[in-house]
Amino acid sequence: MRRIILDVDTGNDDAVAIMMAGLHPEITLLGCTTVAGNLPVANTTENTLRVLHHIGRSDVPVFRGLASPFAPHPFPTPADFVSSATPVHQEELELLPSPVGVQPHTAVEWLVETLRNATEKITLVPVGPLTNIAAAVTLAPEIVDAVDEIVIMGGSASHGNETSQAEFNIFEDPVAAHVVVNAGFDRLTLVTLDATRKARVSAAQCRELEALGTPGATATAQILDYYIRGNSDKALGSAAVHDALCIAYLLDPSVIETARLHVGVDTVGFHTYGRTLIDLTGIGGTAPNASVALGADSAKFFDLLRSTLAA
């Protein structure tokens, strides 16, 4: 059993991750903290509440997080900034509003208090910009000791998806990412685009999910249909469900292939701003600080997704 906190910028793939975490019996979802990223934090918070209500998990508390990056972008948007012709994430997911609202505490306050008072270790799963996590460990560095593993969706050892060099979550707040990878977490797993690009769901597989007829599967099919249409690589007729792979990993670690590597973050380059600096050969001589996922088993991922949503 994993006791987890999901930090989300709910958009489409975050929604699928929340449903997997909220539905699987091997996961105790202690709460969701929201952050600006795919959408402004008001939207990511509302979308998170709607997803939890949709799967009958309004009991999971939602805490609104930070609205802007830990450090503002120092440069004008780089020339190679990827802007999708159609919006990739729906401003408001087509799900009923939840009767349960956001909790009164802010995300960072709740993260700090929950981890300070934890009697059992907690798994942190940030799948958006790392702003909340960076703020929490800056306020209370000791909270890393209450975390058994932090599983981050972010970065790339190859090409980016927000610029040619940088992955979205890291690009949105590179200084926060730098703070988090250097915060001293015992076990840091970085699920990069090199892995999530193999965790794709096709339009045909959306039909398979739809046929399950459960609330989670039906919503996932609808959300991913939209995501496939809006995705920059829609020509592939599929979409990488990035955040859901982090939850699939919690259920079956063999779904990803990892290597112990050193990870840094470029917080000063212009063309490389926000790039994860992953030392693939160890030539840098700095001890590894992460288990980096560079591959994934797409069939195993879809089996985990389908079986979890069938509930």
Q: Where does this chain bind ligand RIB (CB under 6 A)?
A: 9, 11, 13-14, 37-38, 127-128, 153, 161, 167-169, 242-243
CB of 7 to ligand RIB, least distance (A): 10
Q: Residue 73: helix, strand or coil by DSSP?
A: coil
**String of contacts with Ca ion for each residue 209-248, x by CB under 5 A:** ----------------------------------x-----
Whole-angstrom Cα distance, residue 7 to residue 199? 20
Residue 242 annotated in active site: yes
Of 3, 211, 225, nearest to 125 (Cα)? 3
> 46 or 243, CB closer to ligand RIB?
243
Which strand (E) or helix (H) includes residue 114? helix 107-116
> 65 or 112, CB closer to ligand RIB?
65
Q: What does the block give as tokens for 74?
A: 């120092």
**String of contacts with Ca ion for each residue 116-135, x by CB under 5 A:** -----------xx-------
List C-alpha distances in Å: 277 to 169, 239, 261, 263.
Answer: 14, 25, 10, 6
Dihedral over Cα of 208, 209, 212, 213: its sign: negative
Q: Which does 43 bind (CB under 5 to 8 A by kind): Ca ion, ligand RIB, none?
A: none
> 123 or 262, CB closer to Ca ion?
123
**Orientation of helix 174-181 relative to helix 131-139, angle to 10°:** 50
CB of 107 to ligand RIB, least distance (A): 16
The DSSP bridge partners found for residue 277 are: 264
**String of contacts with Ca ion for each residue 74-113, x by CB under 5 A:** ----------------------------------------
Q: Are β-strands 27-34 and 62-63 bridged in parallel, bridged antiparallel, or unpaired?
A: parallel
> 145 or 233, CB closer to ligand RIB?
233
Hey, which residues are catalytic here?
A: 242
